[in-house]
Structure 1
Amino acid sequence: MRLLNRSAGRLSRHRRGPLAGLVVLVLGLLLTGGLYAALAPAQADTDADQEALVQEGRELFLIGCAFCHGQNGEGVLTQGGSQYGPALTDVGAAAVDFQVGTGRMPMAQPGAQAPRKEVVYTKDEIAALSAYVASLGTGPAIPDADLYDTDKPGDLNGDGKQDDEDKVLLVARGSQIFLANCTACHNFEGSGGAMPRGGFAPKIRGVDPKHIYEAMLTGPQSMDTFSDGNIPPEDKKAVIAYIEALEETPGYSGFTFGGLGPVSDGIIVWVGGIGILVGFAVWIAAHTTRSSKQKDEAAA
């Protein structure tokens, strides 16, 4: 018993010694380092993968984009001082995913507006280019699928679930936002229209929901930028739901004519029909006059 008491006393004295705190600190650091080493490799691998993706994107950028946008995305000016290719330092990954993912970039030649065309790059290459441009500065990231998935409208009616009634409410909200902010350029049914200085608002029916979301987020070409502060993400989803509803709406006329309905058909047929009849009447009158002159000359 005395031996145990003596051992306990020695241990107690050592705990109170000047080196006890240092030993505890070293043990704590070793334990923390061991736990970090066990958990950190996944994060390290992620960072390495991201760096490799950025490097791949830079190589693609130097080949296909640097001629217009500069080797570091700083933009290129012509000798006259006009912008040949804009700077990409703060456009973000979403802008690249939209422009390249819809085939608008790379452009065949500079113009008032980049039209949509066949996509040149693969999905992996687009992801690499987006990662590289995102590394050049700030800017919106590529949106998550949940932000534009209209099959998940949210609990808009407050019944604790997401159902068809919520989808109807989402479309109704989207129609109000679309009519207030988008119809001036894209037509009330999304058929597009002409813009000043050679630009145009493209048709947006049948467009991938992700690209519609990215267009609102980044404001490509002549389009205004609708940040999340202007139009919140849930309202952007509502606009997409309304555009998808437009695609399912049947046309109530023989010709679309921008969705103007049967009245436009009547006007086109009336004007065209009257024009044809007037032209035919003029032809008959001219032909009759020529025939009468020939008969009078023969009789003389």
Structure 2
Amino acid sequence: MAREKKRRSNGRRSPLAAAALIGAGLMITGAVYAGTSAAFAATDTQTAASSTLTVDDGEKLFTANCATCHGLDLQGTPNGPSLYGVGELAVEFQMSTGRMPLQMQGPQAPQKEPQFTEDQILAISSFVQESAPGPTFPEDHLLDGGGDVANGAELFRVNCAMCHNVAAAGGALTEGKYAPALTETSALHMYAAMVTGPQNMPVFGDMNLSDEDKRDIISALLYQQQSVQIGGFSLGSLGPVSEGLFVWIFGIGALVAITVWITAKSN
């Protein structure tokens, strides 16, 4: 019996052996995963590099998806306006924000998820620009957010706040139309909106706002997007209307509730 116990004790594995096996398994699994990820990343890079589309590709995409409303010759139809003079900037804006292709007829084209990839949108934009030139993409420094924020805020208040709200939170217009919020709008789309005048927005040419003025407005809006809200809830940034409604409902409501409770208690 003593010998049997000794054999069993010699055959036992050390508690550290299991930990060593688990550690080795984790290291091997991690190495395989890292190698696989690197291989997939290299494949994705090559695919992205080779997926650049041409103007001819843009023409085919336009014919298949846009010509029904805008016409094969871009001169428009009863269902859609002419695209002559709109340029690639307007096309990129409308398609990247998902406003086009139009989902349904209505007072205004709503913003939604884009139905095309960035490469496809740029290809269609290039085709439109080549066939019917118009406003093109701005220089990079106009979108860098390095303009005069104070001047931009003043220009925004004078030219844009009556529709988009002082806090750029958007606002209602007539006949079911509305000015969208600018709290998440990119610098490129801010510039495109000022230059091309989408929906109900007017076109701000150089006689109204110079490129530097547009840069200042974009800088002010970007600064506002990145700034930290101080003072608790912003209440939608709608100003005294929402704040007064909040006080009326919750403040007066609380006083009424306390009054009713005191009266019931005394009775």
TM-score (normalizing by structure 1): 0.63
* 8 Å contact from structure 1 (residues 73, 87) kept in 2: yes
For residue 229 of structure 2, what is the aligned residue in structure 1?
251
Change beyond 3 A, Cα 1:61–1:253 = same
1:279 CA displacement: 8.9
Deviation at 1:144, TM superposition (A): 2.6
233-242 or 263-272: bigger deviation? 263-272
Equivalent residue, structure 1, for 2:166: 188
Q: Is the 8 A contact 2:153 2:217 kept in 1?
A: yes
Aligned equivalents of 1:251, 1:117: Cα separation in 2: 27
- Name 1:164's counterpart in structure 2: none
- Point out the more displaced range, 268-277 or 68-77: 268-277
With over 3 angstroms needed to count, the CA separation of the structure-2 counterparts of 1:56 and 1:245, relative to structure 1, is same
1:65 aligns with 2:50: no
Deviation at 1:189, TM superposition (A): 0.9
> How far did residue 183 of structure 1 move?
0.2
- Displacement of 1:277 in angstroms is 6.9
Q: Structure 1 counterpart of 2:58, which letter?
A: G
**SS where residue 131 of structure 2 aligns?**
coil
Q: Displacement of 1:141 after TM fit?
A: 0.9
Q: Distance in 2 between matches of 1:87 and 1:270?
A: 50
Partner residue, 2:207: 229
Q: CA deviation at 1:123?
A: 1.6
Secondary structure class of the residue paired with 1:85: coil
Residue 68 of structure 1 contacts residue 76 of structure 1 at CA under 8 Å; is this kept in 2? yes
Partners of 2:63 and 2:241 in 1: CA distance: 53
> Is the partner of 1:135 in helix, strand or coil?
helix
SS at match of 2:84: coil
Computing the radius of gyration from Cα coordinates, the structure with the larger value is 1
Counterpart position of 1:86: 81
1:287-298 superposed matches below 5 A: none
Between the aligned partners of 2:73 and 2:240, the Cα distance in structure 1 is 54
Deviation of 1:101 after TM superposition, in Å, equals 1.4
Residue 99 (structure 1) aligned with residue 94 (structure 2): yes
Map of 2:7 onto structure 1: none
Whichever residue aligns with residue 146 of structure 1, its letter is H
In 2: Cα distance, 1:172 partner to 1:276 partner:
41
The alpha-carbon deviation at position 199 of structure 1 amounts to: 0.9
Q: Quote the offset at 1:263 in angstroms.
A: 8.3
Give the Cα separation in 2 of the matches to 1:75 and 1:88.
Answer: 7
- Partner of residue 75, structure 2: 74
2:29 corresponds in structure 1 to none
Q: Which runs of 4+ in 1 moved over 4 A?
A: 260-264, 275-282
Letter in 2 for 1:214: A
Aligned partner letter, 1:137? A
How many angstroms apart in 2 are the aligned matches of 1:249 and 1:147? 20
Report what 1:297 is aligned to. Answer: none
**Aligned AA for 2:68?**
F
The aligned counterpart of 2:56 is 55
Identity across the alignment (%): 43
Task: Spell out the pairing of 1:12-161 with structure 2 (5 A cutoff).
Answer: 53-77=54-78, 84-151=79-146, 153=147
TM-score (norm 2): 0.71
**CA root-mean-square deviation:** 2.8
- Aligned mates of 2:244, 2:92 — CA distance in 1: 43
CA distance in 2, matches of 1:261, 1:221: 26
Could you tell me whether the CA contact under 8 Å between 2:191 and 2:218 is conserved in 1? yes
Relative to 1, partners in 2 of residues 1:175 and 1:68: Cα closer, same or farther, differing over 3 Å? Answer: same
Indicate conservation of the 8 Å contact 2:88/2:135, yes or no.
Answer: yes
Structure 1 letter corresponding to 2:210: P
Match of 1:179 among 157, 181, 190: 157
Alignment partners' CA distance in 1, 2:186 and 2:173: 23
Cα contact 2:165–2:238 (8 A) shared by 1: no
Distance across 1 between alignment mates of 2:240 and 2:89: 40
- 1:275 deviates by 5.0
Alpha-carbon displacement from aligned partner over 1:194-246 (angstroms, at most 9, x marks no partner): 01121110011221101111111100000000123321111111001100121
Report the alpha carbon displacement of residue 108 of structure 1 after superposing the two structures with TM.
1.3
Letter in 1 for 2:142: L
1:270 deviates by 2.6
**1:218 and 2:196 equivalent?**
yes
Query: Distance between the aligned counterparts of 2:198 and 2:241, measured in 1?
Result: 34
